[in-house]
A = this chain, B = another copy of it.
Amino acid sequence: MNLLLLEPGELAGDGTARLADRRARHVVEVLRAAPGDAVLAGVVGGRMGEAQVLSATASEVVLAPRLDRDPPPPAAVALLLALPRPKILRKVLAATASMGVKRLVLLGSWRVEKSYWSSPLLAPEAMREHLLLGLEQGRDTILPEVIVRRLFKPFIEDELAATFPEPARLLAHPVGAAPLEALAPAGGRAALAIGPEGGWTAYEAGALAERGFTPFSLGPRVLRVDAAVPYAVGQVELWLRGAAR
């Protein structure tokens, strides 16, 4: 935990916050903070800054946060992912939030196993928990918006355009496409699509290409989604900034 996140309702009228859950234990046991020490804190959806520890016992911590700065600017990449299996989804949610990605669509695809859709992890509260862990890791306060759509075709036809207004659209393709440096970056922001294990079907890749998602290669290897997401986001961020020069 690099940032202690408070829910807006946890700030009392005098500006202090009283914690008695895993966050309090973290402050006491991991950070070993004592009264007078400061920890980095933020409010979900709001500002962040140093928080003075007013008291710290095994069961309760009282903080006085001074929320004097904005969270870091959002990442320049929005993500369209074929729903990964739950074990991987958990990591992808946290990594997505930690990288500052602010929009994530989890989409059905022919190669997404039906059982994945019944994962309890897809409950909004469960996703939120993993996203918060990612924000704590990345020192950010702004939750990504996560959109879950089981049916590929209606999403692509009816919602894709409005969901991804980014001027650049990219499709990470396991093999055969040109590398990113062969493409001219445009517009400073990008939507990035990453397929399921086994890849999008030809129909799916075609439907995305028709809507401006340009395939690019991540290299000759096939990365697991939890590695492919940061690998591709890192590349696209650099590629977009190269354009800004």
| A→B interface (CB under 8 Å) | 2, 72-73, 75, 91, 94-95, 98-100, 137-140, 179-181, 218-224, 226-235, 237-239, 241-242, 245
Q: Determine if A99 and B138 form an interchain contact, defined as CB atoms under 8 angstroms apart.
A: no
Q: Determine if A95 and B227 form an interchain contact, defined as CB atoms under 8 angstroms apart.
A: yes
Identity of the chain B residue whose Cβ is nearest the Cβ of A179 in the assembled complex: B241
User: Which 6 A-B residue pairings sit nearest by Cβ, starting from the closest?
Assistant: A72-B220, A231-B234, A138-B221, A230-B231, A234-B234, A234-B235
The distance in angstroms between the C-alpha atoms of A230 and B245, with both chains bound, is 24
Q: Determine if B223 and A137 form an interchain contact, defined as CB atoms under 8 angstroms apart.
A: yes
Q: Please indicate the chain B residues that have their CB under 8 angstroms from the CB of A218 in the complex.
A: 234
The distance in angstroms between the C-alpha atoms of A121 and B229, with both chains bound, is 25
Contact partner of A235 among B75, B137, B235, CB < 8 A? B235
Q: Determine if A100 and B219 form an interchain contact, defined as CB atoms under 8 angstroms apart.
A: yes
Identity of the chain B residue whose Cβ is nearest the Cβ of A197 in the assembled complex: B2
Q: Other CB < 8 Å A-B pairs besides A98-B221, A235-B238, 14 of them?
A: A95-B223, A98-B223, A98-B227, A99-B219, A99-B223, A137-B222, A139-B222, A179-B238, A181-B241, A227-B230, A228-B230, A230-B230, A230-B234, A235-B235
Q: Which one of A91, A95, A230 has the greatest number of beta carbons of chain B within 10 Å?
A: A230
Q: Please indicate the chain B residues that have their CB under 8 angstroms from the CB of A100 in the complex.
A: 219-221
Q: Nearest Cβ distance between residue A152 and chain B, in whole angstroms?
A: 23
Q: Nearest Cβ distance between residue A205 and chain B, in whole angstroms?
A: 18
Q: Nearest Cβ distance between residue A179 and chain B, in whole angstroms?
A: 7
The distance in angstroms between the C-alpha atoms of A124 and B218, with both chains bound, is 30
Q: Please indicate the chain B residues that have their CB under 8 angstroms from the CB of A181 in the complex.
A: 238, 241-242, 245
Q: Please indicate the chain B residues that have their CB under 8 angstroms from the CB of A227 in the complex.
A: 95, 98-99, 230
Q: Determine if A224 and B72 form an interchain contact, defined as CB atoms under 8 angstroms apart.
A: no
Q: Determine if A99 and B180 form an interchain contact, defined as CB atoms under 8 angstroms apart.
A: no
Q: Please indicate the chain B residues that have their CB under 8 angstroms from the CB of A238 in the complex.
A: 179-181, 235, 238-239
Identity of the chain B residue whose Cβ is nearest the Cβ of A138 in the assembled complex: B221
The distance in angstroms between the C-alpha atoms of A238 and B236, with both chains bound, is 9
The distance in angstroms between the C-alpha atoms of A235 and B236, with both chains bound, is 8
Q: Nearest Cβ distance between residue A160 and chain B, in whole angstroms?
A: 25
Q: Which one of A98, A234, A238 has the greatest number of beta carbons of chain B within 10 Å?
A: A234
